[in-house]
């Protein structure tokens, strides 16, 4: 479908959104890793407009700051008082010099499910039919609150009547105004000057522009959205959760059709920015956020939350929380592991049960299988870190680094007091507190010598169960169980 680029897109986001009952402005609420207005901007961006302006009003400092972060190319126009959608568009056009030649598309900032494809179709109909205005409409099961599309006997759109201003007959109409329009920019600017405020809300209605243009003899058209759910505006947290569900389903459907197995879409949540390769498997209760990428044939979950984490081909990540980490191909993580930012596992590395890592490089084939903390560390290839070891990286003031070489075997219950280096092929004894560097190939033993005080129980705990057990053991001939 070839469409000309619109001269401008105006996004209306000045309203207060009182029904969200939130300290966060409505359009900044998040679904699937993107703000509501961010979703609208992404869809609008697909039209490749020459200019994009967001009309801000309520909580405009927060909204403007957010926009500067996520879409620095976007301009903002301030609508100090919310005098209606027509007034808002007027403020938007003023930011663009008052009058724009070419097509101007208007969308609302609270319709995150709107797709670029629907906008392209609207824009294409608008151009092909040579309309002065084309409104995006939809048939909805319940039209309460929406502006109704009034058509004449020939089916031509004649007006949009707001719910509050509609007659009983008009209220029975189920085709509604989505709030999305394509306009001829010059005609829009002229018509907005004629919009009055003699309606039930005392506002300048953008919808009146349609009737004004039609009465002036201009072509007015409509494009009907295929799926009415796409144009749903978010007004409260129930609708927010419904929209999130729909968007999440869309993302998972696309993933599944591209060859990803999602065992339970109902309990799997993904952000729009997550990417997958073929034959990745996602188990129930898994949340994938940010720039997370699942490589070919890897398996993630159940019950895992991955943020900005790369999972290599064939890797296994089970019951894990990971943030800003890299899991190499065929590596294994969990169950019950926590990879904090800067954790990097090479091929076939293993981070096992109840292990936490942070800013740590784990070399190929190296294993940290049980109950350990590895912070600020570099571990070479094919080493094994004994159970219940701690990389003591913090002296209460500064963080220090530990380096463990390749083919090392460190004993269980070791403390590596950083900064410290264990050379290649070195061993450390169980229970050691390693405070000094260990040369390659050495065995380090850093623990108190064991001392057995014989007969202590019989003397100090006479008559106790322990004493009786010891007595019985003494009677048994050695070597028998
Ligand atoms: C509007 C339409 C209605 C349509 C519905 C679709 C008008 C008069 N009515 O009604 O026909 O069915 O959207 O959801 O246009 N906004 C501003 N400044 C304002 C007023 C609104 O920026 O002064 C923004 C809001 O932030 C919101 C959008 O415009 O993003 C729509 O405003 P809202 O008050 O929700 O309009 P509705 O009454 O729902
Ligand atoms: Ca609304």
Half-sphere exposure of 351 (CA within 13 A, CB side): 38
Q: How far apart are CA 130 and CA 219, in angstroms?
A: 7
Q: Which two tokens stand for residue 274?
A: 């997550």
Mean pLDDT of 353-379: 98
Beta strand segments in 5-132, E: 8-13, 30-31, 34-35, 51-56, 75-78, 103-108
Same domain, 284 and 376: yes
Q: Which two tokens stand for residue 259?
A: 């060859």
Residue 392: its pLDDT value, please?
Answer: 98
Residue 281 sits in a domain whose CATH number is 2.160.10.10
Residue 480: its pLDDT value, please?
Answer: 53
For 194-216, what is the HEC assignment?
A: HCCCCCCCCCCCCCHHHHHHHHC
Same domain, 32 and 162: yes
- The reply to whether ligand 1 has any atom less than 6 angstroms from the CB of 88 is yes
Residue 2 pLDDT level (bands cut at 50, 70, 90):
very low
For ligand 1, mutation pick of 84, 85, 86 (most atoms within 8 Å of CB): 85
Same domain, 152 and 270: no
Mean pLDDT of 326-335: 98
Q: Is residue 3 part of a domain?
A: no
Residue 62 sits in a domain whose CATH number is 3.90.550.10
State the maximum Cα–Cα separation within the chain, in Å, rounded to a whole number: 114
In sequence order, which ranges of 7-115 are alpha helices (DSSP H)?
Answer: 36-45, 60-70, 85-95
Mean pLDDT of 172-178: 97
Residue 16: its pLDDT value, please?
Answer: 87
Same domain, 96 and 214: yes
Domain ends where: 188, 210, 231? 231
Q: Is residue 243 part of a domain?
A: no
CA of 266 to the centre of ligand 2 (A): 28
Ligand nearest to the CA of 16: 1
Domain that holds residue 337: 260-444
Same domain, 227 and 277: no
Residue 241: its pLDDT value, please?
Answer: 98
Same domain, 267 and 359: yes
Atom of ligand 1 at shortest range from CA of 235: 35
Beta carbons of 371 and 336 less than 8 angstroms apart: no
Q: How far apart are CA 358 and CA 423, in angstroms?
A: 21
Q: Is residue 238 part of a domain?
A: no
Mean pLDDT of 24-32: 97
Atom of ligand 1 at shortest range from CA of 109: 30
Q: Note the pLDDT tens digit of each residue in 99-145.
A: 899 999 999 999 999 999 999 999 999 999 999 999 999 999 999 99
Q: Note the pLDDT tens digit of each residue in 234-261.
A: 999 999 999 999 999 999 999 999 999 9
- For the question of residue 370 being annotated catalytic, the response is yes
Total domains, the chain = 2
Q: Is residue 470 part of a domain?
A: no
Same domain, 72 and 195: yes
Same domain, 280 and 330: yes
Same domain, 166 and 23: yes
Nearest residue by C-alpha to atom 3 in ligand 1: 147
Q: Is residue 95 part of a domain?
A: yes
- The reply to whether ligand 1 has any atom less than 6 angstroms from the CB of 208 is no
Q: How far apart are CA 45 and CA 403, in angstroms?
A: 48
Beta carbons of 163 and 146 less than 8 angstroms apart: yes
For ligand 1, mutation pick of 56, 108, 170, 243 (most atoms within 8 Å of CB): 108
Choose among 214, 37, 228: nearest CA to 137. Answer: 228
Half-sphere exposure of 403 (CA within 13 A, CB side): 8
In this model, does residue 58 exceed pLDDT 70?
Answer: yes
Q: Note the pLDDT tens digit of each residue in 395-410.
A: 999 999 999 999 999 9
Same domain, 93 and 215: yes
Beta carbons of 124 and 211 less than 8 angstroms apart: no
Q: Is residue 456 part of a domain?
A: no
Q: How far is CA 374 from the centre of its chain?
A: 27
Q: Is residue 254 part of a domain?
A: no
Q: How far apart are CA 413 and CA 366, in angstroms?
A: 17
Residue 3: its pLDDT value, please?
Answer: 55
The DSSP line for 350-399 is EEEETEEEEEEEE-TT-EEEES-EEEEEEE-SS-EEPSS-EEE-B-SS-B
Half-sphere exposure of 334 (CA within 13 A, CB side): 22
Same domain, 212 and 264: no
Mean pLDDT of 295-303: 98
What kind and span of H or E run contains 243?
A: helix 237-257
Q: Is residue 106 part of a domain?
A: yes
Q: Which residues contact 138 (CB under 8 A, 6 or more apart)?
A: 175, 176, 178, 224, 225, 227, 228, 230, 231
Same domain, 316 and 361: yes
In this model, does residue 83 exceed pLDDT 60?
Answer: yes
**CA quadruple 122, 126, 131, 132: dihedral, nearest 10:** 70
């Amino acid at each position: 479908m070839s469409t000309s680029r619109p001269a401008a897109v105006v996004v209306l986001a000045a309203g207060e959104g009182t029904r969200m009952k939130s300290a966060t402005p409505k359009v900044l609420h998040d679904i699937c890793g993107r703000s509501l207005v961010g979703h609208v901007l992404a869809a609008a961006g697909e039209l490749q407009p020459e200019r994009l302006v967001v009309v801000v009003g309520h909580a405009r400092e927060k909204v403007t700051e957010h926009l500067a972060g996520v879409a620095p190319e976007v301009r903002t126009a301030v609508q100090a008082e919310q005098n209606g959608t027509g007034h808002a568009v007027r403020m938007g056009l003023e930011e663009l010099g008052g009058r724009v030649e070419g097509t101007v598309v208007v969308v609302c900032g609270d319709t995150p499910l709107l797709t670029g494809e629907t906008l392209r179709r609207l824009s294409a109909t608008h151009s092909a039919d040579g309309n002065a205005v084309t409104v995006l409409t939809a048939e909805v099961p319940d039209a309460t609150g929406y502006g109704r599309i009034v058509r004449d006997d020939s089916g031509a759109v004649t007006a949009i009547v707001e719910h509050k201003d509609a007659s009983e007959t008009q209220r029975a109409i189920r085709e509604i105004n989505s709030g999305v329009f394509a306009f001829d920019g010059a005609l829009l600017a002229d018509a907005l000057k004629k919009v009055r405020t003699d309606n039930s809300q005392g506002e300048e209605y953008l919808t009146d522009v349609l009737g004004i243009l039609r009465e002036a003899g201009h072509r007015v058209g409509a494009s009907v959205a295929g799926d009415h759910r796409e144009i749903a505006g978010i007004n409260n947290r129930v609708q927010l959760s419904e929209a999130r569900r729909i968007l999440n389903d869309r993302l998972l459907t696309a993933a599944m059709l591209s060859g990803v197995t999602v065992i339970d879409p109902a309990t799997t949540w993904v952000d729009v920015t997550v990417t997958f390769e073929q034959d990745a498997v996602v188990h129930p209760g898994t949340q994938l956020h940010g720039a997370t990428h699942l490589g070919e044939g890897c398996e993630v979950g159940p019950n895992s939350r991955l943020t900005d984490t790369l999972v290599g081909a064939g890797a296994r990540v089970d019951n894990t929380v990971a943030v800003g980490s890299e899991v190499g191909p065929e590596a294994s993580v969990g169950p019950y592991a926590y990879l904090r930012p800067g954790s990097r596992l090479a091929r076939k590395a293993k981070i096992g049960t109840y292990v936490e890592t942070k800013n740590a490089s784990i070399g190929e084939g190296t294993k940290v299988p049980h109950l350990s903390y590895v912070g600020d560390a570099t571990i070479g290839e094919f080493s094994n870190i004994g159970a219940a070891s701690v990389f003591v990286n913090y002296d209460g003031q500064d963080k220090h680094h530990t380096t463990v070489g390749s083919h090392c075997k460190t004993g269980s219950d070791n403390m590596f007091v950083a900064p410290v280096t264990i050379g290649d092929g070195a061993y450390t004894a169980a229970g050691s507190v390693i405070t000094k560097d260990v040369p390659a190939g050495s065995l380090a033993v850093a623990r108190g010598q064991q001392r057995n005080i014989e007969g202590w129980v019989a003397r100090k705990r006479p008559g106790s169960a322990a004493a009786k057990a010891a007595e019985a053991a003494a009677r048994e001939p050695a070597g028998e169980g």
